[in-house]
């Protein structure tokens, strides 16, 4: 069988179509969750048949994986290829929350799926479990570094601070969704971080 080279235009069209599918999946999963949302509904939103959608994503689990990866890629792109350390990382997490306010669909899909995925048999369970462990780890390291540099109080427990900061990040986003974006999520975050600083 002869190898047929696809033109650059064809690749671009495929990438554009995948982006459309991801955008539709974000909407469907944020509205109905993973179990409630169907591939058929995602396909219909982008004018495809279900077999046509499966040409781009082999199954529903692969589509979920792509949605979560897409969200992470945007976050890492925002924070930079080399993650900051110490107070720089904490400030970057707050800045990321400010950016998230411009992408309510992704905020909603994260809130819905992270809640659903507490069930061990959910296809996103391991992803969220590993993600929370990683975010907690890098935040703990940032607190330790900030303590060493004299920015944060030395008596603070880095694990407790990391868990509290993550709880604020996620909890504020849920409240923000309920209030239709009616407040600035960074304000209470910055107030919490100020309470941790060394008194000047």
Q: What is the pLDDT of residue 82?
A: 80
For the chain, where are the alpha helices, taking DSSP H only? Answer: 8-36, 39-45, 50-54, 60-79, 87-100, 104-116, 125-148, 158-178, 186-196
Domain ranges of the chain: 8-196
Two tokens, residue 68: 């979560």
For 127, phi then psi, to 5°, come to -60, -50
CATH of 8-196, one of 3.30.200.20, 1.10.510.10, 1.10.357.10, 3.30.43.10: 1.10.357.10
Question: Residue-wise pLDDT tens for the chain (200 aa)?
Answer: 333 344 445 445 578 888 899 888 888 888 888 888 899 999 999 999 999 999 999 898 889 888 888 888 878 787 776 888 999 999 999 998 998 888 888 888 889 889 999 999 999 999 999 999 999 999 999 999 999 999 999 999 999 999 999 999 999 999 999 999 999 999 999 999 999 999 75
Is residue 45 a contact partner of residue 28, using CB atoms and an 8 Å limit? Answer: yes
**CA distances from residue 83 to 80, 92, 144 in whole angstroms, order as listed:** 6, 9, 15
């Amino acid at each position: 069988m002869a190898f047929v080279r696809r033109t650059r235009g064809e690749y671009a069209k495929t990438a554009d179509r995948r982006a459309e599918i991801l955008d539709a999946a974000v909407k469907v999963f944020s509205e109905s969750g993973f179990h409630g949302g169907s591939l058929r509904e995602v396909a219909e939103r982008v004018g495809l048949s279900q077999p046509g959608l499966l040409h781009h994503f082999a199954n529903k689990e692969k589509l979920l994986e792509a949605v979560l990866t897409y969200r992470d890629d945007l976050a890492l792109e925002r924070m930079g290829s080399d993650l900051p350390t110490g107070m720089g990382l904490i400030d970057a997490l707050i800045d990321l929350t400010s950016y998230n306010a411009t992408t309510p669909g992704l905020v909603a899909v994260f809130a819905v799926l992270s809640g659903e995925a507490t069930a061990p048999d959910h296809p996103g369970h391991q992803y969220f479990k590993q993600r929370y462990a990683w975010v907690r780890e890098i935040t703990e390291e940032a607190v330790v570094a900030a303590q060493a540099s004299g920015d944060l109080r030395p008596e603070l427990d880095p694990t407790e601070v990391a868990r509290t900061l993550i709880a604020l990040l996620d909890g504020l986003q849920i409240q923000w969704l309920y209030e239709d974006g009616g407040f600035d999520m960074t304000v209470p975050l910055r107030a919490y971080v100020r309470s941790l600083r060394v008194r000047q």
